[in-house]
């Protein structure tokens, strides 16, 4: 006669999810905060596609001209360009000449990287300086179709310049410490559901 085996009581998956539940919201919030600029750029790209498609459909199929669609798409494209450039600085993924990088001796890579970061900070400072001037001049102007404040359009120039300086400072500190650049990687991993505890 075979001895009877006693099974350990199975844990309820609902309880295991509840136990690991608070970790997921924290990771999700960290991911959304760390990739907020990327999400903003993606949202503006989707908005541009929808607005342009709407303008085409209304103009060529319904024979109704929506004048505001061209203006809204143009202004969103300006914002998307500058915010996208800021994301490229954050991820250190701007255009680079790999062949020149190969010509430079390996021991000098760190110093050339520091020079590149300092040059980027100078250009960002120019964006802040003249972006504030052009925003101030155009602050009382309005767009012809939607009546939007033109100053809001040019406000993206100093704002993106300031963010570029902050991200460049982070890269500069990393370069001075001798750490490799984090090229094309997000600061946080994508949120994942917690694994069930067996």
User: Which residue blocks in the chain are alpha helix, DSSP H?
Assistant: 13-20, 23-34, 36-60, 67-91, 98-103, 109-137, 150-154, 156-176
How crowded is residue 157: how many other Cβ atoms within 10 Å of its Cβ? 21
128-158 residue pLDDT tens: 999 999 999 988 888 887 788 888 899 999 9
100-122 residue pLDDT tens: 667 777 777 788 888 989 999 99
How crowded is residue 29: how many other Cβ atoms within 10 Å of its Cβ? 12
| pTM exceeds 0.75, yes or no | no
| Least confident window among 6-20, 128-142, 143-157, 175-189 | 6-20
Indicate the length of the chain as a whole number.
198
- pLDDT (average), residues 22-31: 68
State the pLDDT at residue 68.
87
Cβ contact 65:59 at 8 Å: yes
Cβ contact 156:82 at 8 Å: yes
């Amino acid at each position: 006669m075979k001895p009877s085996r006693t099974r350990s009581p199975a844990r309820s998956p609902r309880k295991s999810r509840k136990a690991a539940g608070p970790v997921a919201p924290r990771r999700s919030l960290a991911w959304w905060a760390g990739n907020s600029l990327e999400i903003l750029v993606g949202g503006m790209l989707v908005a541009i596609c929808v607005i342009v498609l709407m303008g085409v459909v209304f103009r060529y199929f319904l024979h109704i001209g929506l004048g505001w669609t061209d203006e809204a798409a143009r202004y969103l494209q300006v914002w998307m360009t500058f915010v996208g450039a800021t994301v490229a600085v954050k991820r250190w993924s701007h255009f680079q000449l790999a062949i020149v990088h190969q010509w430079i001796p390996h021991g000098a890579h760190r110093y050339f990287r520091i020079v590149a970061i300092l040059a980027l900070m100078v250009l960002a400072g120019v964006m802040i300086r003249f972006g504030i001037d052009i925003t101030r001049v155009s602050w009382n102007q309005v767009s012809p179709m939607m009546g939007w404040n033109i100053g809001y359009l040019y406000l993206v120039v100093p704002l993106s310049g300031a963010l570029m300086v902050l991200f460049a400072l982070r890269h500069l500190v990393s370069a001075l410490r001798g750490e490799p650049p984090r090229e094309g990687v997000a600061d946080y991993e994508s949120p994942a559901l917690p694994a069930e505890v067996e």
